[in-house]
Every structure is written in C-alpha cells, then in structure tokens.
Amino acid sequence: MAKKRLIVAITGATGAIYGIRTLEALRDSEGVETHLVMSRWAEKTISLETPYQPEQVMKMADYCYDVEDVGARIASGSFPVSGMVIVPCSMKTVAAVAHGYTDNLVARAADVILKERRRLILVARETPLNEIHLENLLKLTRAGAIIVPPVPAFYNRPQTIDDLVMHLVSRILDLLEIPNNYTRRWGELVEIKSEQGL
C-alpha cells in the first residue's frame, strides 16, 4: 500500500514545539511519508524556544526542502499529497497564502494545496487578532483551508505543557485522518468520571 504523503511546514511564529511534536507523531504513524519545509524564522524560533536544533528537526522528516526552492516537487500540483499542515503558522504566512503571494516554498506549497482542493490546515498563532488577521483567516476558510488556533483544552485534565501540546497534535492528526491516541477523548473522560462517581 502506498504511503500517505503529507507536507509539514513550520514558520517563525511562537509555538515551534507544536510543529516538532506533529512531525514526531507523523514519523511514528504507520504508512505516512512527511515532506518538511521550514522558514528561516522557524529555524531561529526552534533554537530559541526548544531544546532542539533545526538539523535535528529535519531528521524527523522523510524529505526536507529549502524554503527558497519554489521549484521543489511539493510546489507542483502534479506531485500527489494528501494534505498539508502549517504548524505554527505566522500571520505573515497567513497573509501570503490568503493573497496568493507565493514568494517562498511554504506559501507556494499551500497555494498548490488550495488549488488542487486538498486539505490545508493552518495552526494560526497570534493574539490578539486585528481586523486584517481576521479577514485573512476568513478568506482562507472560504477557500477551503481549516484554521486550527492552538487553543489549550482543559477537559482532559492536562498535567504538563506537553499534555497541552499533544492534545492539539492529536486534533491535527484527526483532521489529517491519521489514527492516534495522543489525548483522552471527551467520551472517554465522561466514562471515567462516571466510573469514579463524579
């Protein structure tokens, strides 16, 4: 059976760990092939925010591409992929994709995903959001993208920061139709509380 090809892009918004954990989860998923592209600011943010270096993150993917290489195979609709996730996604990248400004491989690959009507997930990271941000996000939603802000969930009783991160990663994998057990589901929590008499 052919592997499921997925593009993972990491941009310079804070929250680089979301991208790293997503890559790790996809690496550990059966039948998945990952194609990674990182912006220059993503590389800096990874070094600033996490114990990882960009070179270590690159090794988590099956294939890596230079962000300036707009001639890479993931920049063509003739290269079949199942979907793409930009995690985290800066507002600069949101603006570029929303307006078709494909000046680097992240924006170009996302543009191709939209034109081919494939699944595009943007983990858009900014707060507060101004009118321009909101209009760009709405434009992308109308174009078929799925906006997944990294909003923490507390119904699963997280104990660590990684619990919060992995809950979001689990939601991303759900949207990519990748089976996973990285977080406890709502129904499971209700059953546990019922068993405990809570």
The ranges assigned to domains in the chain are 4-195
171 is in an annotated binding site: yes
pLDDT given for residue 192 in this prediction: 45
pLDDT given for residue 189 in this prediction: 57
155 is in an annotated binding site: yes
Q: Alpha-carbon distance 13 to 45, whole Å?
A: 7
pTM for this prediction? 0.93
90 is in an annotated binding site: yes
112, amino acid identity: V
Q: To which CATH superfamily is domain 4-195 assigned?
A: Flavin prenyltransferase-like (3.40.50.1950)
Asked if residue 92 lies in contact with residue 101, where contact means CB atoms within 8 angstroms, the answer is: no
Q: Alpha-carbon distance 76 to 93, whole Å?
A: 19
> Dihedrals φ, ψ of 93, to 5°?
-70, -40
108 is in an annotated binding site: no
pLDDT given for residue 194 in this prediction: 44
Residue 168 corresponds to which tokens in the numbers above?
Answer: 């979001």
> How distant, in Å, are the alpha carbons of 13, 21, 52, 76 from that of 48?
12, 16, 9, 32
3-state secondary structure of 10: strand
Question: Around Cβ 59, how many Cβ atoms within 10 Å?
Answer: 11
User: Quick one: what percent of the chain has pLDDT higher than 70?
Assistant: 94
Q: Alpha-carbon distance 24 to 34, whole Å?
A: 10
125 is in an annotated binding site: yes
Q: 10: which strand partners?
A: 38
101 is in an annotated binding site: no
60-105 pLDDT tens trace: 999 999 999 999 999 999 999 999 999 999 999 999 999 999 999 9
pLDDT given for residue 191 in this prediction: 52
Q: Is it the case that residue 197 has pLDDT exceeding 50?
A: no
179-192 pLDDT tens trace: 999 988 887 754 54
pLDDT tier, 20 (very low <50, low <70, confident <90, very high otherwise):
very high
39 is in an annotated binding site: yes
92 is in an annotated binding site: yes
Residue 126 corresponds to which tokens in the numbers above?
Answer: 């900014």
In 3D, which of 119, 165, 177 has the Cα closest to residue 146?
119
101-150 pLDDT tens trace: 999 999 999 999 999 999 999 999 999 999 999 999 999 999 999 999 99
Q: Alpha-carbon distance 3 to 30, whole Å?
A: 8
12 is in an annotated binding site: yes
How far is Cα of residue 11 from the mean position of the Cα atoms in its chain? Answer: 10
